[in-house]
Amino acid sequence: MKQTVADKEPALVSDQLDTDKKGILNIQEEKNADSRVVGTMTAGELCYILADEDSDWVYVESGDVRGFAEKKYLKSDAETKAQVTERGADTYSMAEENMDPEDNKALYYTLTSTKEGTPSGEIRQSMIEYASQFVGNPYVWGGNSLTNGADCSGFVQQIYKAYGYDLPRVAEDQSQYGTKIPVEDAQPGDLIFYAKNGYVYHVVMYAGDGKTIEAANEDVGIIYGTVYNKDAVWATRILDDNYTVAGGEIGEVNATQEMYGPDLGNFTITYYCACEICCNKADGITATGTPVIEGQTIAVDPSVIPYGTKVIIGGHVFTAEDCGGAIKKNHIDVYVNSHEEALALGVTNAEVYLVK
C-alpha cells in the first residue's frame, strides 16, 4: 500500500457566509462556482483540507464528500485545530452528499485521505476489476477456465487463485472455507452461497451494492447479477480486513509515494526468526554476513531479487539480506524477533515494489 493516509488539517465552516450563499457552503467538483455541487456544508461543520491549502479554492474531505471549497469560508487556524482536538472530531457534523462518489470527477484529485484504509480494501477492488473482465465469457459445467468457460465454483476458484488463494473446487466445499458471515455483512470480494433443502447449489462473488459477478448458467454465461436473497444462506470471508504484511514495527508505513518504483509482482510472504527451527542455526547472521534486524531484513531468492535490493512491502521498506532453501521465485521471508510471532503471522500475499 502506498502512503495515502494524510495528516489531519481540520477546518470549520465559518458562520460568516455571505448572504448570497444562504448559509450553505457548496463543495464543488472543480475550482469554480459554476461546476457541479458534490456536497454541501453549513456553518460549524467539519472538513479536512487535503490539498491546495494556499489557494483560494482548497481541496477538502468531509465524510464521504471530496471536492473544492472556497477557502475564505473556512476557519483552519490554530485556535480551530485546538477546538476540534479538545471537543473531538466525532462531535461535529460532516458534509451532505449531493452525488454518489463514483460520479464525482474530483474524487481522485489526490489519493490521500484522512481515513485509514486496509491492504485488503485495495485487494477487494482489484479483485472485482479483475473478475469483471471475464463477464460475457461462457459457462461450462465442470470448467475452470476464465476465458474458455467455467462453472460457478470454477470461476471464483480461479479469481482467488490469481490472488494467491487456493480454494476447494466445488461450491459445497468452498462454503466451508474461510469465515462464515451473514449475507448482509458481505463486502466486495466475499463469496455468497445459495442453498435449497440444505444443499449448496451455487456460489457468487459479491461486488457491492447488492450486485454480484458470477458464472450463472449456460444461457447467459459469466454475468453481472444481483444477490438472490431468497436462497442466499451465508457468505464467507477469505480476505482478512485486519491484514497487515507484518506485525509490530515492521508493519509501520515508512515509504513515501515518491519512493515507489516498478511493481515486481505478487509475492508469497512468510515470516521467520533466528532460531534453529527456522534457520538450522541460531547465530543471527544473514547470508550476506550482516546481523538480522526486524524491520529491515528479508530473505529472498537472489536470482529474483539480488542481495542489497531495497523493496517496499505493505508500505514498509525492507532490504534483501538473506536467503533460505525454501525461498524460491516469488517468495519472501520477513525476519521477526520471535518464533511465536513468525508462527502467528502465517502466510500472506502482497505486491512488492522496488525502491527507486
Closest Cα partner for 188 from 201, 166, 204? 204
Evaluate if residue 73 carries a pLDDT over 80.
yes
Q: List, for residues 32-61, the tens digit of each pLDDT value.
A: 999 999 999 999 999 999 999 999 999 999
d(CA 131, CA 346): 27
Dihedral in degrees, nearest 10, Cα atoms 340, 342, 348, 354: 150
Closest Cα partner for 263 from 331, 350, 164, 162? 350
Pairing of strands 191-196, 179-181: unpaired
More confident site: 92 or 20: 92
Evaluate if residue 200 carries a pLDDT over 70.
yes
Pairing of strands 144-145, 232-237: unpaired
Q: How confident is the model at residue 2 (pLDDT cuts 50, 70, 90)?
A: very low
Question: Chain-wide mean pLDDT for the chain?
Answer: 86
Pairing of strands 310-313, 331-335: unpaired
Please give the order of strands across the beta sheet that includes 232-237. Answer: 179-181, 232-237, 191-196, 199-208, 211-217, 221-226
- pTM for the model stands at 0.43
Q: How confident is the model at residue 19 (pLDDT cuts 50, 70, 90)?
A: low
The segment with the largest mean pLDDT, out of 64-78, 112-126, 265-279, is 64-78
Q: How confident is the model at residue 342 (pLDDT cuts 50, 70, 90)?
A: confident
Tallying the residues shown for the chain, one arrives at: 356
Which of 160-164, 177-181, 205-209, 347-351 is predicted least confidently? Answer: 160-164
The whole-number average pLDDT for the span 135-151 is: 95
DSSP 213: E
Classify residue 164 as exposed, middle or buried by CB count within 10 Å of its CB (0-12, 13-18, 19+): middle
d(CA 252, CA 351): 16
H helix runs in the chain, sequence order: 78-87, 119-132, 152-161, 171-174, 276-279, 339-345
* pLDDT of 241: 55
Evaluate if residue 243 carries a pLDDT over 60.
no
Q: Which residues contact 328 (CB under 8 A, 6 or more apart)?
A: 301
More confident site: 328 or 348: 328
How many Å is the Cα radius of gyration of the chain? Answer: 25
Q: Indicate the angle between helix axes 119-132 and 152-161, nearest 10 degrees.
A: 130
DSSP 275: S
The whole-number average pLDDT for the span 74-86 is: 91
* pLDDT of 247: 42
* pLDDT of 216: 97
* pLDDT of 66: 94
The whole-number average pLDDT for the span 80-92 is: 87
